[in-house]
Amino acid sequence: MSYRGSNNGTNSNRYGDPNDFMEQRNDDLVEKLSNKVAALKKITIAIGDDVRDQNRLLNEMDYEFDASKSLLGSTMRRLGIVSKSGGYGICL
C-alpha cells in the first residue's frame, strides 16, 4: 500500500527531521534559561553580600549612637549639677 507523500517509513522531510529541529530549539532554550539562572544567582549573591555589609554598618552605627547617647546624658547631668550650684552663670 502506498501513501501520498510517503517518506519510506521515516518522519523526515526535505528540511530534516522535525524532531531534530525541535530538540535543537529546546536545547537552545534550555541553554538560554541556564544562562539567565546563573546571572540571577550572581545578582542574588551580590545582594546578599550587600545586605550583610549594610547590616554590619547599621550595627556599628547603633553602637556609636548608644555611646553618644551615654556621653550626652553624662554631659547633661554635669551641666544640671553646675547650673543648680549657681556656678558660672549657666542658664538652662
Side-chain half-sphere of 18: how many Cα atoms within 13 Å?
Answer: 4
Instruction: Specify the pTM.
Output: 0.55
Q: pLDDT-based confidence at 13, cuts 50/70/90?
A: low
Does residue 25 contact residue 32 with C-beta atoms inside 8 Å? no
Q: Is the model more confident about 8 or about 30?
A: 30
Q: What is the largest CA-CA distance in the chain?
A: 123
Query: Which DSSP symbol is given to 87?
Result: -
> Does residue 33 register a pLDDT over 60?
yes
In Å, what is the CA distance from 62 to each residue of 56, 57, 59, 66?
10, 9, 5, 6
Does residue 92 contact residue 78 with C-beta atoms inside 8 Å? no
> Does residue 78 register a pLDDT over 50?
yes
